[in-house]
Structure 1
Amino acid sequence: MKKVRARNKKWALPFINAHKDIVINSIDDPSFFHSPLYLEIGTGKGGFILNMPLLVKGHYLGIEKDSSILAIAARKAFESNNKEVKFLWGDFDKLFPLIEKLRFDGIYLNFSDPWPKLKHHKRRLTYGPRLSNIASLLNKGGLIYIKTDNADLFSFTIEEAKKIDLEIVSKDDNYQLNELDVETEYEKSFREMGVSIHRLILRKKENN
């Protein structure tokens, strides 16, 4: 299912600009950027990333390109005084040079845009060259966790992972939530509609 863009919120940009400690422009804070460190690409309204530190201790960085959606997540972090989560505003490809020297113990791709048209498949977050960049951010032993409701995107991602020699740790066509995972807003809606959730876990092979 294609994600629906949020309506433009007039308060979003002023809020983002006023809270540079939450929506950051640089990664030069050593007190935050150290292991255990986790990344979510496409953080949405923050339901996942803001609750993950309660289950898996560490610091979390969220990337979101929609300013109105990001502002909702950032406001939640501000109102809950969440110090374990920070955000970057922008597209992953454009932000990659900024974060490419960071290493994450886990990377989460939750319900990414499936870009269903064949001519748009290169825009998918799990398109081979992009997925390779994502994998390069992993610490040794780190994992990429992918959840989607889209069976075609799931199959596509498996094939792209094979092309770039990533190891498939597990794949599940009817994933049931486990105790170390947070249900996203999309995931909750899909489950209520009876839609199957597909989950894939990847890692770099030992020789990579």
Structure 2
Amino acid sequence: MRLRNKPWAKEYIEDNCDLVIPNPQQYKGKWNELFGNDHPIHIEVGTGKGQFIIGMAEQNPTINYIGIELFESVIVEALKKLKETNLENVRLLNINANDLTEIFSKNEINCVYLNFSDPWPKSRHEKRRLTYASFLKKYEEILVEEGEIHFKTDNQGLFEYSLKSFSQYGLLLKFLSLDLHNSDFEGNVMTEYEEKFSAKGQPIFRVEAKYQNVK
């Protein structure tokens, strides 16, 4: 996907530092203080234009949500959507997913969402996939015991790879659907990609995987 350059993005993000948190490392272990409550915290890695995380926050006011997006030109679209709401349970971070363990402490996060992640189909790029073992280790380090990953994609190859990766890592596969929109799953919030792909008749794959306390 080619991203359109938005030269105004950096300044726009800086002007909204209450929503896109600068220097998030300073809140490691203290994110509940930022939100002002002890509600569970869920993060979306690769939040894109923000439709999913804002929809989830509207649907679940007693959960705090943090959207993580690497690209300034993309996160500003999520920021614009967020500014149109009165939601107090959403914050955004303009960071790389590789830095998660520098931003969050052990047992600080309850759930990780991965929605329509880049499939990185070439074998030499396997380590960049957000369901690769090294990323699963990062999620485990910040999640509560038996914390969960909720993963959605339209890419069958990435889905099959991810199921194998989850299983090899020792995660328990809870919910699994090979055609989410024709299943009995309730409360689904669609991403922008999901709307586009499902409108074309493409099945959406979804799985919930839980870390197991085997120590």
What's the TM-score once normalised by structure 2's chain length?
0.88
Residues of 1 paired with 2:60 and 2:141: CA distance? 22
Residues of 2 paired with 1:64 and 1:15: CA distance? 15
Residues of 2 paired with 1:95 and 1:8: CA distance? 26
1:123 paired to 2:128: yes
Give the counterpart of 1:203 among 204, 210, 214. Answer: 210
Look up the equivalent residue of 1:182 and give its one-letter code: V
The farther-off stretch of 58-67 and 29-38 is 29-38
**Residue in structure 1 matched with residue 13 of structure 2 by the alignment:** 16
**Residue in structure 1 matched with residue 193 of structure 2 by the alignment:** 186
Give the counterpart of 2:47 among 43, 47, 52. Answer: 43
**Sequence identity, in percent?**
36
Structure with the bigger percentage of helix: 2
May I ask how many residue pairs the two structures share in their alignment? 205
Contact 1:135 1:203 in 2 (8 A): no
Give the counterpart of 2:152 among 127, 147, 151. Answer: 147
Contact 2:100 2:138 in 1 (8 A): no
Structure 1 residue 102: Cα displacement: 5.4
Residues of 2 paired with 1:180 and 1:192: CA distance? 18
How is 1:98-117 mapped onto 2 (pairs within 5 angstroms)? 98-101=103-106, 103-117=108-122
Structure 1 residue 151: Cα displacement: 0.8
Over the aligned positions, Cα root-mean-square deviation in angstroms equals 1.8
Contact 1:56 1:180 in 2 (8 A): no
1:54 paired to 2:51: no
Contact 2:107 2:145 in 1 (8 A): no
Q: Deviations over 1:46-79 (max 9, x none)?
A: 0000110222231100100010110111122123
Look up the equivalent residue of 2:15 and give its one-letter code: A
Give the counterpart of 2:89 among 84, 92, 109. Answer: 84
